[in-house]
């Protein structure tokens, strides 16, 4: 196969748009570090009284 696209305009436009892979993204550019708030993990401890805020149950939603 040759590297030249076919003669029709649709094939040429596809080759212009999709002819090459995008540039590779480094792992360091995909991650971000941020400082935690005061208290660290103490404010994310499990609280059974407020656990319903984070989970959904269809039976509870329907009142069963």
pLDDT per position as a tens digit, 16-50: 888 888 889 999 888 888 776 665 555 667 777 77
Residue carrying structure tokens 């404010």: 43
Write the DSSP symbol of residue 49. T
**What pLDDT score does 49 carry?**
77
Residue carrying structure tokens 């305009």: 9
14, 18, 15, 20: which is closest to 4 by C-alpha? 15
Model pTM? 0.28
Count CB atoms within 10 A of the CB of residue 15.
14
Residue carrying structure tokens 């596809």: 14
Helix, strand, coil: what percent of the chain each, to 5?
40, 0, 60
């Amino acid at each position: 196969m040759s590297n030249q696209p076919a003669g029709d305009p649709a094939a040429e436009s596809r080759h212009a748009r999709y002819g090459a892979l995008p540039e590779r993204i480094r792992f360091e550019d995909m991650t971000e570090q941020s400082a935690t708030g005061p208290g660290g993990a103490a404010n994310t401890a499990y609280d059974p009284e407020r656990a319903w805020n984070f989970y959904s149950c269809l039976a509870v939603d329907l009142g069963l």
